[in-house]
Amino acid sequence: DDLDACGGWVGVTPDSGGEPVYYYTLTDAPPFTMGCFGDASTYPVTVDQCRSLYDACQDEPVVIETVHGSGPFTLECPCWDSRGSNVEGQEGTPCFLASGGNCTGALSTSGGAGGRVVSRAMVGCLAAAAVLFV
């Protein structure tokens, strides 16, 4: 798991002429495809570096619900940590992801995620869109 916060890493690809390049892969975990822009000179892009590039990452998280559970999610923030969360202060894997029962909806910072709730229908659309890329 050498992917950075953008979902990229440095390595040799079939079309890189034997030279290491920064590239993105499809994964079964967020960000699924490309989360943010990186390159070989900035690898690995940290979650904090990624969050500093997007104003939306500073927004109050919403609570989303799926068949797996509910938890905080920051809309329009493409920066993901190794647990599959894009919320600053998330203590573990978000419960809205399929996590085998090992999840938390808790935030380690005050303020919480008591804001808007995103409907299951919307999350279903997001999940369906993600499947198209996997």
Which distant-in-sequence residues (6+ apart) come within 8 Å of 97 by Cβ?
Answer: 29, 30, 66, 68, 84, 103
CA distances from 125 to 14, 39, 52, 105, 121 (A): 34, 30, 28, 22, 6
CA distances to 44, 62, 67 from 41, rounded to whole Å, are: 9, 34, 40
Integer Cα distance of 6 and 113 in angstroms: 24
Q: What is the pLDDT of residue 91?
A: 73
pLDDT of residue 134: 39
User: According to the model, what pLDDT value does residue 114 have?
Assistant: 43
* pLDDT value, residue 101: 57
pLDDT tens, position by position, for the chain (134 residues)? 578 888 899 999 999 999 999 999 888 877 788 888 888 898 999 989 999 989 999 999 999 888 888 888 899 998 888 888 888 887 777 777 765 656 665 544 434 444 444 444 344 444 444 444 43
- List alpha helices for the chain, DSSP H: 47-52, 120-133
Compute the distance between CA of residue 76 and CA of residue 86 in angstroms, rounded to an integer.
10
